[in-house]
Structure 1
């Protein structure tokens, strides 16, 4: 049997810090005099900051402006997370531990910048489970491009065909499938409905990761 390699998205999958992200974007938008709505947030959740900034605020923004505004947004976000803390979503702790016990390699593949992931993995005490952490800073193209997941697979020395990605966003599911990987999608935080995740190609869609078993995941690559 082929041993699966597991790649985790973070925001909306491992943890839910969406409200902190929404408040940070709202505050940044206010500072630069631009509108920002819940619909804007939902439409761009899971994208890298440069893509969000160009899509919502400045279509012709150069890399430096994207860096400056992105750093401001993330400073606001991290301050909020440090103040409020965060917890793993239902089922995550048991699954991460079960995959480790089974000897399956695990990585993080996230659009978030390095500083955010360091903070979140530290607060949730999960860093030790991941042989590789690939961030939005490590790739040139964001989801739905598969670069972040292909980079994670390479770092795990795993063929894409044996990788199973855990995601909550349509762009993330599309990225996993574009990379030739299996995908388990979770609707717990409610950013994307089950039918949209299925339409994007998710192999399994669950309301909570507490529903997912090691055997189910093994069968995806078996």
Structure 2
């Protein structure tokens, strides 16, 4: 039997800090005198900051400008998370423990910067579950490019075909499938409807991770 490896997206999958991200982007946009809407947020959620900044605000922005504006946005975001806190989404704690008890390696594959992930994994007490944490700073290409998940598989020393990615976003599902991995998509936070996640190639779609079992994931990898 093949031992699966689990790669977790964070925002929208492990936790839901979308509102803190939205407020941070809104505040940054106000500071630079640019519009920012819910539609803008939905269209770019899960992308890396340079891609968001170039898509929405400054198409010709250089790396330095993207870095400075991105750092400002993340400062605003982390301040909000520290103030309000966060908690694991339904089913996550039980799955992390069940996968660990089964002896399956687990990693994080996220577009977020290291400081955000350190904060979120610390607040939720989950860092101990992950053999590897791949951040937006570790890759050159954001989702839907598969680099973040392929890097996680490499750090786990696992064939991508044996990996199962947990995601909530269309771009993340596309990245998992582009990397030759299985993907479980969760609709709990409601950023992306089931039909779009299915269209992106998700192998399993659930309303909540409370619906997922170890046996189900074992069968998925085969």
TM-score (normalised: structure 1): 1.00
> Any gaps of 5 or more consecutive residues in structure 1?
none
CA distance in 2 between counterparts of 1:181 and 1:50 reads 26
Matches of residues 143-158 of structure 1 in structure 2 within 5 Å? 143-158=143-158
CA distance in 2 between counterparts of 1:15 and 1:151 reads 22
Matches of residues 98-177 of structure 1 in structure 2 within 5 Å? 98-177=98-177
> Any gaps of 5 or more consecutive residues in structure 2?
none
CA distance in 1 between counterparts of 2:59 and 2:6 reads 35
Cα deviation, residue 182, structure 1: 0.1
Partner in structure 2 of residue 87 of structure 1:
87
Partner in structure 1 of residue 188 of structure 2:
188
For residues 61-97 of structure 1, what are the alpha-carbon distances to aligned partners after superposition, in whole Å with 9 as ceiling and x for unaligned? 0000000000000000000000000000000000000
Cα deviation, residue 194, structure 1: 0.2
Partner in structure 2 of residue 78 of structure 1:
78
CA distance in 2 between counterparts of 1:118 and 1:177 reads 27
Cα deviation, residue 158, structure 1: 0.3
Cα deviation, residue 189, structure 1: 0.3
Partner in structure 1 of residue 216 of structure 2:
216
CA distance in 1 between counterparts of 2:109 and 2:2 reads 21
Cα deviation, residue 177, structure 1: 0.2
CA distance in 2 between counterparts of 1:182 and 1:221 reads 7
Partner in structure 1 of residue 37 of structure 2:
37
- Is 1:198 aligned to 2:209, yes or no? no
For residues 187-213 of structure 1, what are the alpha-carbon distances to aligned partners after superposition, in whole Å with 9 as ceiling and x for unaligned? 000000000000000000000000001
Q: 4+ runs of 1 displaced by more than 4 Å?
A: none
Secondary structure of 1:217's counterpart equals helix
Partner in structure 1 of residue 51 of structure 2:
51
- Is 1:65 aligned to 2:54, yes or no? no
- Coordinate RMSD, CA, aligned: 0.3
For residues 97-147 of structure 1, what are the alpha-carbon distances to aligned partners after superposition, in whole Å with 9 as ceiling and x for unaligned? 000000000000000000000000000000000000000000000000000
Alignment: residue pair count: 222
TM-score (normalised: structure 2): 1.00
